[in-house]
Amino acid sequence: MKKLIITLTAAVLLSGCSVKIPFINEKPEEKAEKNPQLAERKEQTKEHYGSNQTSDDSLYALEAAYFNTIKEVKGVKEIVNSDNVLALVNKDFALPGTYIPADLVRPNVPFSFGDQDIEKSYLRKEAADALEKMFSAAEKANIHLFAVSGYRSYVRQVSILNNEIDRVGKDKAMQAVAIPGKSEHQTGLAMDISSENVQYLLSEDFGETDEGKWLKENAYRFGYILRYPKEKVEITGYQFEPWHFRYVGEKNAEIMYKNNWTLEEFFKEVRKI
């Protein structure tokens, strides 16, 4: 066998020809032809983001403005471009305590608390419009949704966290409630949703209802993602919340849904342009 390998190598060198080794010398488009899933992802990229990708390692290109711009304030990584619709707010990145979205409106959807005009009934305009479309589509499918909690100020988050610490202790509270500044609700892009089947509560049981299942499978069509999936706790840092949906825009939501990505995973896959 050793002699045969040496003979073949010599023949190649003498002929001056190159040997086409699969997956090494192939061009990206040739790889895609042999891998239907890769080809499909490339087509999605062209449709959603344009054809600016340059390698298979980065199939999704995203403008730099959609990435967090960070400055460190007293040891906290604060998001400077807080109005970014794709702002990645989590346990690593925080919104400034003074941040309040300028375009908050009250969406015309059913709320668990009725017609009360209160802080948590508001969302940013783009997210509110999308929520109305989603609730309308749900009604046509005989799915009855109720909005529970949308925008939440920094001050309100302080109160909620303190109350939870008093109730269950600091360790458990930190798994369920975001540190002030690190709550998606402050972006004005997140809405907690429930239904009559679970008495309008925010519980894991909601994920087993028809309403919870419908949202999980259809929210992306309206630009929303299930932000804290059950199987992604180690990635998001938060417990399973089948009621918490975050607006990211229809194109981005579709890509995250089809790839089963969280927002954190999405930003690991996209390439900045």
Res 29: pLDDT = 45
Residue 113 pLDDT exceeds 50: yes
Residue 54 lies in a domain: no
pLDDT tens profile 151-209: 999 999 999 999 999 999 988 888 788 899 999 999 999 999 999 999 999 999 999 99
Looking at the structure, tell me whether residues 125 and 6 fall in a common domain. Answer: no
Catalytic residue among 241, 254, 265, 269: 241
Residue 6 sits in the same domain as residue 89 = no
Q: Tens digits of per-residue pLDDT, 237-267?
A: 999 999 999 999 999 999 999 999 999 999 9
241 included as an active-site residue = yes
152 in the same domain as 73: yes
For Cα atoms 265, 91, 69, give the angle at the middle one, nearest 5 degrees.
70
- State the residue range of the domain holding 259: 67-272
Same domain, 191 and 137: yes
Number of domains comprising the chain:
2
Same domain, 109 and 211: yes
The per-residue pLDDT for 175 is 77
Task: Give the pLDDT mean for 128-156.
Answer: 98
Q: Which of 26-40, 102-116, 123-137 has the lowest mean pLDDT?
A: 26-40
Residues 27 and 93 in one domain: no
pTM score, two decimals?
0.78
CATH no. for residue 139?
3.30.1380.10
Q: Are 34 and 167 in a shared domain?
A: no
